[in-house]
A = this chain, B = another copy of it.
Amino acid sequence: MEKSTWVATPNIAVVKYWGKKDNYLNIPNNGSISVTMDETLSTRTTVEFSPMHKKDELVLNGQFARDTELARAVKVLDAIRKAAGIKERAHVESENNFPTAAGIASSASGFAALACAGADSAGLQASEKELSIFARLGSGSACRSVLGGFAEWKVGSKKNGSDSYAVRVAPAEHWLELRNVIAITDSKRKKTGSAEGMELTTATSGLYSERVRTRPEIIRLMKGAILRKDLPDFLELTMRESSHMHAVMLDSFPPIMYLNDVSREIMWSIHEFNKSKGKICAGYTFDAGPNAHVYTVEKYANEVERMLRGISGVQKTIVCRSGNGPRKLSDMYALF
């Protein structure tokens, strides 16, 4: 068993995951679709299974992880050990190339990198499907980051989650012009974490079952828009889906509100921008936080970025393309 180092990137859901059937296995209530990002934002992870390690250890951005954080990684390592038929414990080190405080979810890239580097270090010839399932156990949305480009996470129907994984809708090359202009806004402490928020919504929102019931049709429409590279359809579906998720969050009791006045200003500005162009050429999506991911194409990216920078409360913008998914690095890049 050798040390293995992989880099993986976050993904942004354009049809969103919010609410689980199974809290331990991270099996979602509805399917989702995402775009995997390029390496502008990425996580590098080195895993080494070895008889030398007495217990699983995770060093995250230079700090030993504990409790829940460590437990999530161990869940992934356990699944890899089981598949590989090994017993060895692992030492894991992981680093993000972006500040954690920036409020960009790093769990998707983190667990995708862990799944790939872990399986590789365990000597497992894992398929994308297997890697996606390993990643899912750490963080639901990570199962989509194992794939490059445009990915769909299938709910599946099996109790053990063996058919709940991400599949490719289209590779990154399919839509090269696409850009994600990220606007980092003031990020105060979240009042409700994602896991806790999901449980609250599924337990208390009267509108949630309607959300779950209607997602398959939205997924069908979103796949069509991606495959046709239909920008206005893709963007309108993306914006509507973002608001749809935030609507059922607001319908929770107590209500969950991740959007703030800056997010609201961004949303409003995008609609004004589209109006000025006479067509939909930019569209926002917000995950469980106030940072905006604004999708557009190369042609409008500079203009959109300038506009976002002009909004008071936008601290920084970052532009990404869609990326190719995780890749292995040479030992030169190992973290230990």
Contact = CB atoms under 8 A, between A and B. Distances in A.
Contact of A248 (B240, B247, B267, B268): B247
Contact of A250 (B206, B236, B247): B247
A23 interface: no
A214 B208 CA distance: 13
Contact of A255 (B191, B236, B254, B267): B267
Interface stretch (A118-126, A226-234, A256-264): A256-264
Contact of A257 (B214, B248, B255, B264): B264
Nearest to A249: B247
A210 interface: yes
Nearest to A240: B253
Contacts of A239: 253-255
Contacts of A255: 239, 243, 267
A271 interface: yes
Contacts of A214: 206
Contacts of A211: 207
Nearest to A239: B253
Contact of A261 (B260, B267, B268): B260
A129 interface: no
A310 B28 CA distance: 41
Number of this chain's copies in the assembly equals 2
B236 A253 contact: yes
Nearest to A214: B206
A244 interface: yes
A246 B247 CA distance: 8
A257 B252 CA distance: 17
A240 B240 CA distance: 22
Nearest to A250: B247
A268 B191 CA distance: 9
Interface string A105-119: 000000000000000
Contacts of A260: 261, 264
Contacts of A246: 250
6 contacts: A206-B214, A243-B250, A244-B251, A247-B250, A247-B251, A255-B267
Interface of A: 191, 206-207, 210-211, 214, 236, 239-240, 243-244, 246-248, 250-255, 257, 259-261, 264, 267-268, 271
